[in-house]
Structure 1
Amino acid sequence: MNLSKEIAGMILDMLSDSGTTEIRRNDLAEQLGCVPSQINYVISSRFTPEHGYIVESRRGGGGYIKITRATYDLSTLKMHLINSIGNNIDERSCRAHIVNLHDRGLLEDKEAAVMLAATADKSYHDVPHELRDKLRANIFKQMLISSMK
Structure 2
Amino acid sequence: MANISDVIEAHLKKIIASTKQNAVEIKRSEIADLFQCVPSQINYVINTRFTVEKGYIVESKRGGGGYIRIIRVEPQDKYKLLDDLMKLAQPKISQQGAIDIMERLLEEEVITEREAKLMVSAIGRNVLNVQIALRDELRSRIMVSMLTTLKYKE
TM, length-normalised to structure 1? 0.91
1:3-55 Cα distance to aligned partner (Å, 9 max, x none): 21221121111112122111111111112212211111111111111111111
Write out the 4+ residue segments of structure 1 that deviate beyond 4 Å after TM superposition: none
Q: Which residue of 2 aligns with 1:109?
A: 113
Residue 9 (str. 1) matches residue 13 (str. 2): no
Shift of 1:119: 0.9
Q: How far, CA to CA, are the matches of 1:90 and 1:33 in structure 2?
A: 32
Give the unaligned 5+ runs of structure 1. none
> How many pairs does the alignment contain?
148
TM-score (norm 2): 0.88
Give 2:74's match in structure 1, choosing from 71, 75, 82. Answer: 71
The alpha-carbon deviation at position 61 of structure 1 amounts to 5.2
Please give the alpha-carbon distance, in whole angstroms, between the structure 2 residues aligned to 1:130 and 1:25.
36
The residue that corresponds to 1:57 in the other structure is: 60
Spell out the pairing of 1:4-43 with structure 2 (5 A cutoff).
4-18=5-19, 19-43=22-46
Letter in 2 for 1:144: L
**Paired residue type of 1:53:** Y
SS state at 2:58 partner: strand
Structure-to-structure mapping, 1:93-108, within 5 angstroms:
93-108=97-112
Which of 140, 144, 147 is the matching residue for 1:144? 147
Q: Taking every aligned residue pair, what percent have the same amino acid on both sides?
A: 36
Indicate conservation of the 8 Å contact 2:53/2:88, yes or no.
no
Partners of 1:66 and 1:39 in 2: CA distance: 13
Instruction: Give the CA deviation at 1:132.
Output: 1.6
Gapped runs of 5+ residues in structure 2? none
Task: Provide the secondary structure at the position in 1 that maps to 2:60.
Answer: strand
Deviations 1:81-118 (A, max 9, x none): 11111111121111111111112211122321221111
Q: CA deviation at 1:148?
A: 2.6
Q: Is 1:88 the counterpart of 2:92 in the alignment?
A: yes
Is the deviation greater in 138-147 or in 83-92?
83-92
